């Protein structure tokens, strides 16, 4: 349908241009002596035919351009489009008045108005598009009652503290965020960008069984968050076409929304630190709430396997913390009391070294 509309538009434009300009071309090439040349219908048909032929080669390019523009406009926030259009209209109005003032100048009167319309129209659109927030502040009434003003200040303070919590793919698949959310320790609005949701869907559609299972688990976690969470779970459509990596898109969006990235990805944690974006790492939280043990403390554990070094045994606490028992290989499968000798904190978690209590 769009292809036919473009071709019909080309034919109509070609007929109009042929009627207006072909007679002058006939005189320029000394063809005005032919009687059929003076027939305006001939000029219309010739112009329409020429642009129809041009349309056969240009239609596909124009359709692709229109679809590209349509995608960009649909992805842009409605506020940006509204203020950009307003700026464009103001720029064209200013260009019209300036052009009218130059109409009496012979050379400038025919060229400058066109240039002014292009330049000022473009500048007006860019200013309206990029200065939306500042323009809103200018046109916002300055006189408000104290209670409303206080509410706005509180809301702004909430946003500055990072009301929006942006979830990445790893923390959704991990699933612990749903349990933490249920306890109420994380407040604010959970934000799931569309590009994260798309990546999660690709994982769920993977041919690899493990990846497919993890992806589907992530989708179930999102559904649980939407069902049980007191605050909203917001899915935003905004994307950044100039960035390919999902992690960098997430950092850019966190900067724009003044939000906090929630993750358990060590590398993303470092990237957020480099970009000065606040980040909440679920692994750091898990390590922080693990029971504190000190050297000399007595613990009751079950040695379940041998360790990497000679004569070592390995046990685990209820939270998954590994305990390396020196000389514990002989106690595999037994519940014994061990004495803590040292505690090692690593990026992967906490490791406790101990020895059997009855050993000397």
Cα–Cα nearest to 18, from 52, 60, 53, 47: 47
User: Which residue spans of the chain are classified as CATH 3.40.50.1010?
Assistant: 154-287
Token look-up 């999660």 returns: 200
- Rounded to 5°, the CA angle 213-215-218 comes to 110
Q: How far apart are CA 113 and CA 204, in angstroms?
A: 57
- Residue pLDDT tens, the chain, 360 long: 667 787 788 788 877 877 777 666 666 666 656 655 566 777 778 778 887 788 777 778 888 877 877 777 677 677 777 877 888 888 888 888 877 777 666 555 566 777 778 887 778 777 877 776 676 666 665 444 444 444 545 555 444 444 788 889 888 998 888 888 888 788 788 888 888 888 888 998 888 888 889 889 989 988 888 887 656 788 888 888 788 888 888 888 888 888 899 988 888 888 888 888 898 888 888 777 777 788 888 989 999 998 888 888 999 887 778 899 998 888 888 899 999 998 887 655 678 899 998 765
Q: How far apart are CA 340 and CA 212, in angstroms?
A: 41
Report the topology of domain 154-287: Rossmann fold (3.40.50)
Q: What length is written for the chain?
A: 360
Cα–Cα nearest to 301, from 257, 252, 353: 353
User: Which residue spans of the chain are classified as CATH 2.40.50.140?
Assistant: 293-356
What's the token pair of residue 274? 């480099």
Q: Which CATH entry fits the domain spanning 293-356: 1.10.150.110, 3.40.1180.10, 2.40.50.140, 3.40.50.1820?
A: 2.40.50.140
Element (H, E) at 354: strand 349-356
Check if the beta carbon of residue 148 is closer than 8 Å to that of residue 243. no
Q: How far apart are CA 47 and CA 10, in angstroms?
A: 10
Check if the beta carbon of residue 310 is closer than 8 Å to that of residue 302. no
Number of C-alpha atoms within 13 angstroms, CB side, residue 343?
Answer: 14
pTM over 0.85: no
């Amino acid at each position: 349908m769009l292809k036919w509309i473009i071709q019909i538009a080309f034919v109509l434009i070609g007929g109009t241009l042929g009627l207006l300009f072909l007679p002058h071309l006939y005189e320029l090439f000394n063809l005005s002596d032919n009687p059929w040349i003076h027939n305006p219908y001939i000029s219309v048909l010739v112009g329409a035919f020429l642009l129809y032929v041009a349309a056969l080669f240009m239609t596909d390019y124009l359709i692709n351009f229109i679809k590209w523009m349509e995608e960009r406009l649909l992805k842009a926030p409605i506020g940006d489009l509204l203020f950009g259009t307003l700026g464009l209209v103001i720029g064209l109005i200013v260009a019209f008045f300036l052009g009218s003032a130059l109409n009496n100048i012979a050379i400038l009167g025919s060229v400058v108005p066109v240039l002014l319309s292009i330049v000022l129209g473009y500048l007006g659109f860019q200013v309206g598009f990029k200065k939306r927030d500042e323009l809103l502040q200018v046109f916002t009434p300055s006189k408000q009652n104290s209670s409303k003003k206080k509410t706005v200040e509180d809301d702004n303070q909430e946003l500055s503290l990072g009301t929006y919590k942006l979830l990445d793919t790893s923390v959704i698949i991990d699933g612990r965020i749903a349990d933490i959310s249920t306890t109420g320790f994380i407040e604010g609005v959970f934000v799931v960008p569309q590009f994260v949701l798309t990546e999660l869907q690709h994982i769920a559609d993977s041919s690899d069984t493990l990846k497919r299972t993890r992806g589907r688990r992530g989708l179930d976690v999102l559904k649980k968050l939407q069902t049980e969470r007191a605050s909203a779970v917001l899915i935003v459509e905004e994307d950044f076409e100039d960035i390919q990596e999902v992690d960098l898109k997430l950092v850019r969006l966190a900067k724009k929304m003044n939000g906090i990235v929630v993750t358990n990805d060590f590398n993303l944690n470092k990237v957020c630190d480099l970009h000065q974006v606040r980040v909440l790492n679920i692994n750091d939280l898990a390590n922080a709430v693990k029971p504190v043990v000190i050297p000399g403390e007595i613990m009751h554990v079950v040695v379940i396997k041998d360790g990497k070094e000679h004569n070592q045994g390995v046990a685990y606490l209820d939270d998954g913390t590994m305990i390396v028992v020196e000389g514990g290989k002989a106690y595999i499968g037994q519940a014994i009391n061990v004495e803590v000798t040292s505690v090692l904190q690593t990026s992967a978690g906490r490791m406790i070294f101990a020895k059997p209590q009855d050993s000397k």
